[in-house]
A = this chain, B = another copy of it.
Amino acid sequence: MLETKTAGISEGIQITKLITDIASKAKSASRILAKASSSSKDQALLFMSDGLLSQSSFIIDENNKDIEDSKARGFSTSFLDRLTLTPSRIKAMADGLKEIASLHDPVGEVVKMWRRPNGLLVGRMRIPLGVIGIIYEARPNVTADGSGLCIKSGNAVILRGGSESIRSNMAIGTVLRDALKKADLPGDSIQIIPVVDRSAVLEMLKLEDYIDLIIPRGGEGLIRFVSENSRIPVIKHYKGVCHIFADESADLEMARKISFNAKVQRPGVCNAMETLLVHEKIAGAFLPSIVRTLEEAGVEIRGCRRTREIIPHMKEATEEDWYAEYLDLILSVKVVKDLDEAISHIEKYGSMHTEAIITENYTNAQSFLNGVNSSTVLVNASTRFSDGFELGLGAEIGISTSKLHAFGPMGVEELTTTKFIIYGNGQIRT
């Protein structure tokens, strides 16, 4: 939720100076951090984790002020819940940082190395991106998670959370910066934007000479605002309109379990299933059982004409339903004549996020995996696995729905780039 207050002219100049100053400090810090050893970064992460626990009453006090303000401003109960920090939530943040410390350090890894005919030995070595800007909404845990992932990957970070959580974020930031200093790393590697004015975000988005990447974390409105106003590359994660296709040869019990899991286990997230596609040859055998199971769990089903011929009591799916990311206990269901129609439907209506096929047919499994170019494509597993932790990336900074740089779940490796390193012995070009 971006506040709409905008600054006057002289205030504007002050904000420009403030933000440029913050970005410049982050950039200087990033050069030191880029050369820091894995052990010193991990030490810092452990100090950060300890600091959150030992300073939890300070953090909770500051958080309470944010909550009081937000209550006075009439925010919803669910908003207030997301904003609230409790000892157990702080413990979860601290545990998260410990887990990040235990990950493999991507920096310095040589991902490939080869010899050229002239004897040059050429390699590609992972290096940090530099300075990463994270722009997010209420949840204060992003302040700790985002900082942890950036520090691990050798990047400085500039955090700009929602105005409602500014005191909580500043408090967490203070604790994290102290921990960095204790580990002899620059405190300036973590910067919290201390002003709530929206122009601060616009200023940030102009600083392409200081900031290498912007990651917006929040709703579609925030992401659009950021990507339309940024001169800095932005990694977007838009919506997930995820599909499961139950093929002719699907094991129906497996299809039922996976579809149920993908829709019901956590409906409000981007990798939950929104549309179920069913091969016409199994529609009669499969649909009654899966629909009953889902309806018993409170799911509203919206079906195509052929689905409703089999189960007449459901609502009809409209054209908009095929595009919809419900993020709720609602599912659209369509009967298709074959794999090709399923893939065409996904290409037309999908968001290139995550799709699964349930099949026992080898050729169809391979055709689906090769033919669908969404960021995650599964055979015989739930769409809910499209998640950095579940895929083994260790942790997740987001799920990219744009193809440049990273596509799909992003871990610490995706916060690096590679440089070419070349060992020669006097080679010149002729």
Asked if A421 CB lies within 8 Å of chain B CBs, one says yes
Asked if A10 CB lies within 8 Å of chain B CBs, one says no
Is the CB–CB distance between A428 and B384 below 8 Å? yes
A285 to chain B, nearest CB (A): 18
Is the CB–CB distance between B385 and A120 below 8 Å? yes
Contact of A129 among B380, B404, B423, B429 (CB under 8 A): B404
Is the CB–CB distance between A233 and B231 below 8 Å? no
- Copies of this chain: 2
Beta-carbon contacts under 8 Å, A392-413 to B: 392, 402-409
Is the CB–CB distance between A425 and B385 below 8 Å? no
Is the CB–CB distance between B258 and A392 below 8 Å? no
How far, in whole Å, are A405 and B261 apart by their CA atoms in the complex? 34
Closest to A28 in B: B347
Is the CB–CB distance between B428 and A258 below 8 Å? yes
A125 to chain B, nearest CB (A): 8
Q: Which residues of B are found within 8 Å of A386, using beta-carbon distances?
A: 420
Asked if A289 CB lies within 8 Å of chain B CBs, one says no
Contact of A424 among B120, B265, B371, B381 (CB under 8 A): B381
Beta-carbon contacts under 8 Å, A359-394 to B: 365, 369-371, 373-382, 384-386, 390-392
Is the CB–CB distance between B392 and A422 below 8 Å? no
Asked if A197 CB lies within 8 Å of chain B CBs, one says no
CB contact under 8 A between A390 and B116, given known A129-B403, A380-B426: yes
Contact of A376 among B260, B373, B422, B423 (CB under 8 A): B422
How far, in whole Å, are A108 and B367 apart by their CA atoms in the complex? 12
Asked if A7 CB lies within 8 Å of chain B CBs, one says no
Beta-carbon contacts under 8 Å, A16-42 to B: 31, 34-35
Closest to A114 in B: B392
Asked if A99 CB lies within 8 Å of chain B CBs, one says no
A122 to chain B, nearest CB (A): 5
Q: Report the 3 A-B pairs with minimum CB-CB distance, sorted nearest first.
A: A381-B424, A261-B428, A384-B429
